[in-house]
Chain A
């Protein structure tokens, strides 16, 4: 009778934490900044999934330990021994195999999401042609033409951007819903290109050609921050990023050209 009751209690416990984990997973989207690129939507999905799984595991273990603390207190001064069981081979196999399967599943989901990010592969390390165009080693699903190719230049502690018509500006302007390639160049130390709303980050190594590709989807103003520590005024290395409609973008670009 007790065994059935215990099994029932366990099932209820698992059901409850499954529900809570699912709910937390849904809430997780609100803990992220707004999604400003197609990539962001993918990243938030994997984040929600990981948060759900993590919540489940945390509640399961913390709950079990908490329960033990609540009902398992020994009377003061009574140091007698507890139960004699030292191990249970089937249980140990279960809790080795199940986590292995779980992490492989997490890895597979992450891999699948990563494939959907337009992250162009970097050159493999053993490659003698460093200054050529990077090989598109990544599986780039969307092979349509790239709209723009903008050069991002990082120097202690200022961002500048060179546009296809050779305009140089301290503002990054991007066309909404267009795939854009950014060539990342650092002129002195390692910097990091990071816009939280884009969910994309890439370290910029001097003397290397590193590209990232993104598709902004939300018009607005964002901030580009240096994410790789780069010295005294590292915290001040911020630039404005504008995702514009096609017309606004062209307008800005021509105005910037004349201003030169």
Chain B
């Protein structure tokens, strides 16, 4: 057993006590000491979380650019253009995307309780809601009276919604992959890491949309 007696080189902060006082779901990500290399699910989720945090910062750099350009450039809008409209269509689209997070979470919970059929249906429903979101976004794009190259607003709008859309697509593909893998015998014998990762990714996609939506549609000049 490793000797925990205090030594001059030991940490000034007792990490072990600190970690134990945190809620269980967070502790899952924060191991102490050593010797837990075998928790593959925990390890994997930690990696995915770290990756998603980093990926969010790419969007943050786009958001920063959007905000900086918008605040410092009076000719933000191209002539004769009012910018993206906050229509009922967009609001409904947002509601669909955000609710789909609850659906996918329910799917993962179903899987944890070994209800595979329910899991498959809920996951398929999530993909369906994601596909609806993308199609609606495409329809909105086609109805806009400005293009990518139309001024700073055009450029940032299509850039932000475009890259977000790509991530929605990636999320949908991951979900469909998870659905098809659920047909493989014994797929979940060791862990359902893939499903947990897909769920977390989908939540991330939603959080990005909330920020994007606020900056692009709610922020009126």
Contacts and interface: CB of A to CB of B under 8 A. Distances in A.
Interface of A: 86-87, 125-128, 130
Contacts of B186: none
B72 A126 contact: yes
Interface string B54-83: 000000000000001001101000000000
B219 to A, nearest CB: 15
B72 A128 contact: yes
Contacts of B39: none
B85 to A, nearest CB: 25
B71 A86 contact: no
A86 B8 contact: yes
Contacts of B71: 126
Interface string B151-173: 00000000000000000000000
A130 B71 CA distance: 12
A238 to B, nearest CB: 33
B119 to A, nearest CB: 49
B10 to A, nearest CB: 12
A35 to B, nearest CB: 37
A125 B68 contact: yes
Nearest to B71: A126
B72 A125 contact: yes
Nearest to B7: A86
A134 to B, nearest CB: 15
Contacts of A128: 72, 74
B72 A87 contact: no
Nearest to A128: B74
Contact of A130 (B8, B68, B72): B72
Nearest to A86: B8
B65 to A, nearest CB: 13
B14 to A, nearest CB: 19
A256 B75 CA distance: 40
Contacts of B8: 86-87
A128 B70 CA distance: 10
Contacts of A125: 68, 72
A48 B74 CA distance: 45
Contacts of A87: 8
